[in-house]
Amino acid sequence: MPVYNQDERCEIIRALKCVDEVFLEESLDLKSEYIKQFKADVLVMGDDWQGKFDELSCCAMWFICPGHQRFRRQQ
């Protein structure tokens, strides 16, 4: 169980001065469309996604957060 629910996490990120927009993905297959639609310069993802979207590195700068898997909800 996450400490903060999805809406609370979005509000926390949205409150950062360096963040212009927060959006949720409906589909990983549409990641390039989201980058275009929201004109994303930077995307932040957990290290469990490292290397999975390398083909999109030309579209936006990526930051990988190490240790993300420790905090993932168990399914």
Number of domains in the chain: 1
Residue 67 is predicted with a pLDDT of 66
Helix, strand, coil proportions of the chain in percent (round to 5)? 40, 15, 45
pLDDT in tens, 5-26: 989 999 999 999 988 888 888 8
Q: Are 43 and 59 in contact (CB under 8 A)?
A: no
Q: Once rounded to an integer, what is the mean pLDDT over residues 32-49?
A: 83
Asked if residue 1 belongs to a domain, the reply is: no
Task: Check whether 74 has a pLDDT greater than 50.
Answer: no
Under a CB-based contact definition with an 8 Å cutoff, are residues 69 and 47 in contact? yes
Residue 18 included in any domain: yes
Which residue type, as a one-letter code, is found at position 28? L
Please state, rounded to an integer, the average pLDDT across all residues of the chain: 80
Return d(Cα 8, Cα 22) in angstroms, integer. Answer: 12
Show the domain range for 35.
6-71
Asked if the model's pLDDT at residue 73 lies above 50, the reply is no
CATH classification of the domain holding 56: 3.40.50.620
Mean pLDDT, residues 39-52? 80
Residue with tokens 């469309």: 33
